């Protein structure tokens, strides 16, 4: 029987830097995917400028979450990195959207909470399962 842990031990060195960079890129790709799918579902233009306009508040929150959690220490951990990044992405993203006059309807907030949880926590949980099976 295997056991899935939600945290990973901090590592250092070139491999750790590579892992952190890849993890941050995966997180950013998840946010961009969330925003692109949202734009498509609402028949908004799928342009680089449009996706950038929709995603920047969430990418700012993602970056803040990485800094708050010191995500480079445990970049693939569901806890604390993934949870901190997820909460920061949604909270900061919605706060910046509200501050700039963009939509923050309750239905959108709920979809953002669920979709970003699936994306930002999901890849980390899947990696934990794969890693546990290999052991």
pLDDT tens per residue across span 3-28: 444 555 555 788 999 999 999 999 99
- Assess if residue 24 is contained within a domain: yes
pTM above 0.85, yes or no: yes
- Assess if residue 124 is contained within a domain: yes
Q: Which residues contact 13 (CB under 8 A, 6 or more apart)?
A: none
Distances (CA, A) of 3 to 11, 61, 73, 135: 21, 31, 22, 10
Residue 114 structural domain = 14-134
DSSP 8-state secondary structure symbol assigned to residue 44:
-
| Closest by CA position to 85, among listed 111, 67, 73, 102 | 67
pLDDT for the residue numbered 8 = 56
- Assess if residue 31 is contained within a domain: yes
- Assess if residue 114 is contained within a domain: yes
DSSP 8-state secondary structure symbol assigned to residue 6:
S
Q: Is the peptide bond before 92 cis (omega within 30 degrees of 0)?
A: no
Mean of pLDDT values over 84-90? 98
- pLDDT category at 50 given cuts 50, 70, 90 is confident
Distances (CA, A) of 49 to 35, 98, 102, 119: 12, 19, 15, 23
pLDDT for the residue numbered 3 = 40
Instruction: Judge contact between 128 and 6, C-beta under 8 A.
Output: yes
HSE toward the beta carbon, residue 62, CA cutoff 13 A: 22
């Amino acid at each position: 029987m295997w056991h899935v842990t939600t945290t990973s031990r901090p590592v250092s060195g070139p491999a750790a830097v590579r892992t952190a960079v890849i993890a941050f890129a995966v997180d950013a790709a998840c946010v961009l995917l969330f925003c692109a799918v949202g734009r498509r579902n609402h028949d908004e233009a799928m342009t680089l400028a449009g996706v950038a306009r929709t995603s920047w508040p969430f990418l700012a929150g993602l970056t803040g979450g990485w800094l708050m959690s010191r995500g480079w220490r445990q970049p693939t951990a569901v806890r604390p990195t993934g949870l901190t990044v997820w909460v920061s992405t949604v909270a900061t993203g919605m706060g910046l959207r509200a501050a700039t006059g963009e939509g923050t309807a309750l239905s959108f907030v709920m979809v953002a909470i669920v979709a970003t949880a699936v994306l930002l926590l999901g890849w980390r949980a899947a990696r934990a399962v794969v890693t546990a099976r290999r052991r």
